[in-house]
Chain A
């Protein structure tokens, strides 16, 4: 996979040169995570992707799928009542936000040619890339920094015994994970470069 990092364009936007195969693979991963969140990948960006999921008056149970739980985590480790009330009040809107971010990323990927990103939409794309990596990492059993290093080694070097051990799929997913990491890190460094300097601290709640 010839991975292209995000670079600055002349007009102030950001661009990543991905080939058609890379874009296709990433769209598949996006669609899986959109569905995991209860959204519909076929919905055009801007439409309500979660029309059937509405804030109810009753409790919202925590997800049993660990990958989904990582996207919609508990807000308290010690106080189940606080966690339950937080989930009841925020989960539906959080799902909606995440699906919206993913559909924006999807739109940037399905266009023919390089993935173009305007600075204004970069934060939601960076968040979407995070969510994709969180789900992949959970599925690949990455729970420590050492696991993450091992996954990167697998992507770069491969496993000499992969033909026998059935590690081909894992290597493939490791390559996808590495590509997502490269895309996110390069995008975020451009976003950091474009922040105001230290002598001008950002206001606490910048308009988004």
Chain B
């Protein structure tokens, strides 16, 4: 992110965090499970979120290897729509506020 010489770095970062929380206060997280297939998770990410193949595969691998991946961010209502859609596909998704979302 851009910084200027006239603004202390710490302030800029704090501002940026606040701004992120204001614009994207919630995230949707997809959790790993031993059942869902890598092919299917990739297909869900490509078709529902419209991610290009490489991004969909990257997020799928993140779920697979790290146990979870953040797949969208925005207002709570939109995140609940996304989580509901993931549950429809059989993926387990939760919504979290950005502050604790990591």
0/1 interface trace, chain B 73-91, chain A, CB 8 Å (1 if under): 0001000100110011110
A97 touching B43, Cβ below 8 Å: no
B43 touching A86, Cβ below 8 Å: no
Contacts of A37 in B (CB 8 A): none
Q: Which of B37, B42, B94 makes the CB contact (< 8 A) with A75?
A: B94
Q: Which of A72, A82, A145, A204 makes the CB contact (< 8 A) with B87?
A: A72
Interface residues of A in 160-193 (CB under 8 A from B): 181, 184-185, 188-189, 191-192
A94 touching B88, Cβ below 8 Å: yes
Contacts of B33 in A (CB 8 A): 134
With both beta carbons as reference points, the residue of chain A lying nearest to B42 in the complex is identified as: A192
Name the prevailing secondary structure of the A interface residues.
Answer: helix
With both beta carbons as reference points, the residue of chain B lying nearest to A142 in the complex is identified as: B34
- Report the bound CA distance from A133 to B34 in whole Å: 10
Q: Please, how many residues of chain B have a CB less than 8 angstroms from a CB on the other chain? A: 31
Contacts of B46 in A (CB 8 A): 192, 195, 202
With both beta carbons as reference points, the residue of chain A lying nearest to B79 in the complex is identified as: A75
With both beta carbons as reference points, the residue of chain A lying nearest to B89 in the complex is identified as: A127
A97 touching B88, Cβ below 8 Å: yes
Interface residues of A in 125-155 (CB under 8 A from B): 126-127, 130-131, 133-134, 137, 142-145, 147-148
Contacts of A90 in B (CB 8 A): 80, 84, 87
Q: A127-B90, A184-B37 are in contact. Are A86 and B96 (CB under 8 A)?
A: no
B88 touching A142, Cβ below 8 Å: no
A75 touching B95, Cβ below 8 Å: yes
- Residue positions of B touching A, CB distance < 8 A: 33-37, 39-40, 42-43, 46-47, 49-54, 76, 80, 83-84, 87-90, 92-96, 100
